[in-house]
Structure 1
Amino acid sequence: MSFSQDFCSLGDTLDLRDELRGIRHCLHRHPEIAFREVKTADLVAQSLESWGYAVTRGLGGTGMVGTLKAGAGSRAVAIRADMDALAIDEETGRAYASVEPGMMHACGHDGHTAMLLGAARQLARTRCFEGTVHLVFQPAEEIGTDSGAKRMIEDGLFDRFPCDAIFGLHNHPGCPAGTFMFRGGPFMAACDTVELTVRGRGGHAARPHLTVDPIVVGAALVGALQTVVSRSVDPMQAAVVTVGAFNAGRAANVIPEEARLKVSVRSFDADVRKLIERRIRALAKAYADAHDASIDVDLLPGYPVLVNTECETQLAMQVARELVGDANVIDGFGPIAGSEDFAYYLQERPGCFLRLGNGEGAAALHNASYDFNDDNLTVGAAYWTRLVERFLATRS
């Protein structure tokens, strides 16, 4: 098999640098949080329409799809960028820092959106592919549950915009800018939250024998929860159980009526995910019975495990090697204990989610000092363009 056209290279998008930087800085200055991405969606839609895309808005709330067809090819590919910001006060000191109190792009979704718009621009002006490309601009990735991806699928994303595969990426502080990272199979963790309410019998601190102390029960349960992974999960499987909040009482001389714990659970396997839930419920019952207390267990399901399909991962990785060279591509990266709602798309269609280095000294994601690396804008635009061209290549 040979390909009849040349594919996008890094130099082909360099003339878009200033335009993409301007878009990214505008988005950064005016961040919008989950399901409120109205102005962001307006900017994206106006840009796509001006370049000849058919734009469909209102999917999953403020989400949209820009569609472009070229040639007579019957295949279709989707590329996704997330648009939402976080509820964080910015501390970067940048000239384009957020002007919206309590909101900032602390995860780089402004950069993800700008990179995909760069690819949209390049694809529209070259049309070097045969088939259909759907550019998916998604709201509310950060919300943690009932997210933008889930809602867009429920709104008929793949029925209305059928595709043979879907791809997405996230920037990755700590790795050099322009470095691409891949992993086939389970790549990012499922994330669930468990809320435990320990109900005892309050009373005077000097008369503990007349009470059922929920703090003692909760403290014992915190210790027991540390055995869920270490003694119940196969050592060859990765999982995390973290108690992130323990709230009880207000005074030193009062034993309260109840204590509340919040637990974050991360896993990379569906069976392990179920096992951890069972163990938490069993431990809660056992410790409640042992102390004559009661414990309510509320499970708040989060995103599923993100599982990349092998064929699409190999293609995505090959495109990166062609674009930036073997030295700037990492195979077998991760797995990553963070979660990502792109996992919902991969439950419906084959695809690959990858990482792009944001700089070795870059601030961490979800940090008030974080900023997306503008050096990635034309790199990401060229990558998405080349991936679409390779996926929808004319074959001879």
Structure 2
Amino acid sequence: MALIKFIEENAPQMRAVFEDLHAHPEIGFEEKHASGVVEKLLNEWGFDEVHTGIAETGVVGILRGKGQGNRRIGLRADMDALPIQEISGLPYTSKNPDRMHACGHDGHTTMLLGAAQYLAETRDFDGTAVFIFQPAEEGLGGARRMIAEGLFERLPVDEVYGMHNAPFSELGTARIRKGAMMAGASFFDIHVKGKGSHAAQPNQSKDALVIGAELVGLLQTIVSRNIDPVKPCVLSCTQFHTGSAYNIVPETATITGTVRYFDQEVMDLVAKRMRELCAGLALAHGIEIEVDIRNVFDVLVNEPELSDAYLAAAADVLGAENVSDDGPQVMGSEDFADMSAAVPGAYINVMHGGQAALHNPAFVLDPAILPIGSSIYARLVEHRMPLSKEAA
């Protein structure tokens, strides 16, 4: 492994930043502590520009290299945590109840900061590096909101790169998948409006609980009976809220969930069948059922040339034998997809060990990954915007 010496020597400092971020997790659009840490450090390191308040808590740092080139490379890290009560037992465990960095975004932010510190010190590149610290990746549309607020109009980039940790793997390895890598996702809310009654007289009701339970079962048939088996799709009902007492037949029920897909035609068919099933069930029971289906994540597509550039940078740090382009296509989603849909982009997984999955209350990010991610980000900037001998 060939970590950048400056980054390796400053690893203890970055470890302290990581532990501080981990101990103070914040969910989407509330990342005031994290954005404050980022803003402070970028200013201390002499960034040419530091922009704050994009999508509430987003921070973007602009760093110009020694050369006079016009190329602009974007690097993005997410900052938000999840509404989970941590049980990891770490000495720097979350101090905020029901808040936890269970997906490693504290590590992603730290890795990008490590690259920022090194590149601010050396500036050995020809062009401009744009460091994007994004809020609200976990389903709240942080990337989409930054773009809507003019991120790439105000601070344009020619290409953009993201990174994610991946547990249950070998530390010191990385992988990517060219083309479609992560699924698109739509969230749905279904509101069943029945008729309540005394539990002793259910004949006077139009039982929202029973109708809702029937609907959950029907929804699960869409993928198995309507979607081509060779086209990946997952429909998951994840919440069912109804009832208020032992002796009341509930009048309303709410069902929520997600649909994951790679093909927009598949998503369109799923949405059509969901609405048809809800309409049919409403007619059968003489009630109302409202359906709200909304796109939250686009399909994440890695541009092939930029994927190769990412692999080259990772190989420079980890060795060619430890990087690959055979990463799996996964049904999880990532709103970096919105950024790579706006400008060409690529997204890589950097591996580490661990005993708990992402989004698990016992998840632990291996801190040894921090200088690895930082070094890959830094080498990527230097590779994509090489400094001429004259400028050096």
Matched, 1:264 2:258: yes
| Paired residue type of 2:86 | E
SS of match in other structure, 1:128: coil
SS of match in other structure, 2:175: strand
Aligned pairs for 1:246-395 (under 5 A) are 246-251=240-245, 254-359=248-353, 361-394=354-387
Alpha carbons 1:214, 1:293 under 8 Å: kept: no
For 2:230, the equivalent position in structure 1 comes to: 236
Aligned pairs for 1:217-232 (under 5 A) are 217-232=211-226
SS of match in other structure, 1:317: helix
Structure 1 residues 117 and 247: CA distance shift in structure 2, 3 A? closer
For 2:174, the equivalent position in structure 1 comes to: 180
- Deviation of 1:386 after TM superposition, in Å, equals 0.6
For 1:201, the equivalent position in structure 2 comes to: 195
- Deviation of 1:305 after TM superposition, in Å, equals 1.7
d(CA) in 1 for partners of 2:252 and 2:54? 42
SS of match in other structure, 1:241: strand
d(CA) in 2 for partners of 1:300 and 1:306? 17
For 1:64, the equivalent position in structure 2 comes to: 59
Of 57, 74, 81, which aligns to 2:77? 81
Q: Deviations over 1:120-155 (max 9, x none)?
A: 11112222211111011111212x13x221221122
Q: Deviations over 1:31-65 (max 9, x none)?
A: 22222222322221221122221211121111111
Superposition RMSD on alpha carbons, in Å?
2.1
SS of match in other structure, 2:34: helix
d(CA) in 1 for partners of 2:211 and 2:268? 24
SS of match in other structure, 1:302: strand
Of 14, 34, 40, which aligns to 1:40? 34
Aligned length: 386
d(CA) in 2 for partners of 1:202 and 1:57? 50
For 1:120, the equivalent position in structure 2 comes to: 116
Structure 1 residues 201 and 85: CA distance shift in structure 2, 3 A? closer
Structure 1 residues 44 and 258: CA distance shift in structure 2, 3 A? closer
| Paired residue type of 1:79 | L
Unaligned runs of 5+ in 1: 1-7
d(CA) in 2 for partners of 1:157 and 1:140? 15
SS of match in other structure, 1:102: coil
Of 20, 24, 27, which aligns to 1:26? 20
d(CA) in 2 for partners of 1:17 and 1:23? 10
Alpha carbons 2:126, 2:388 under 8 Å: kept: no
Unaligned runs of 5+ in 2: none
Structure 1 residues 93 and 201: CA distance shift in structure 2, 3 A? closer
Structure 1 residues 205 and 99: CA distance shift in structure 2, 3 A? closer
TM-score (structure 1 length as normaliser): 0.91
SS of match in other structure, 1:271: helix
d(CA) in 2 for partners of 1:218 and 1:314? 48
- Deviation of 1:20 after TM superposition, in Å, equals 1.1
d(CA) in 1 for partners of 2:145 and 2:265? 25
- Deviation of 1:251 after TM superposition, in Å, equals 4.9
- Deviation of 1:321 after TM superposition, in Å, equals 2.4
d(CA) in 2 for partners of 1:296 and 1:242? 18
| Paired residue type of 2:308 | Q
TM-score (structure 2 length as normaliser): 0.92
For 1:111, the equivalent position in structure 2 comes to: 107
| Paired residue type of 1:113 | T
Q: Deviations over 1:201-222 (max 9, x none)?
A: 3335565554433333223222
Give the % identical residues: 42
Matched, 1:155 2:129: no
d(CA) in 2 for partners of 1:102 and 1:56? 30
For 1:139, the equivalent position in structure 2 comes to: 135
- Deviation of 1:77 after TM superposition, in Å, equals 0.3
Alpha carbons 1:363, 1:371 under 8 Å: kept: yes
SS of match in other structure, 1:116: helix
| Paired residue type of 2:111 | M
SS of match in other structure, 2:296: coil
SS of match in other structure, 1:193: strand
d(CA) in 2 for partners of 1:66 and 1:207? 64
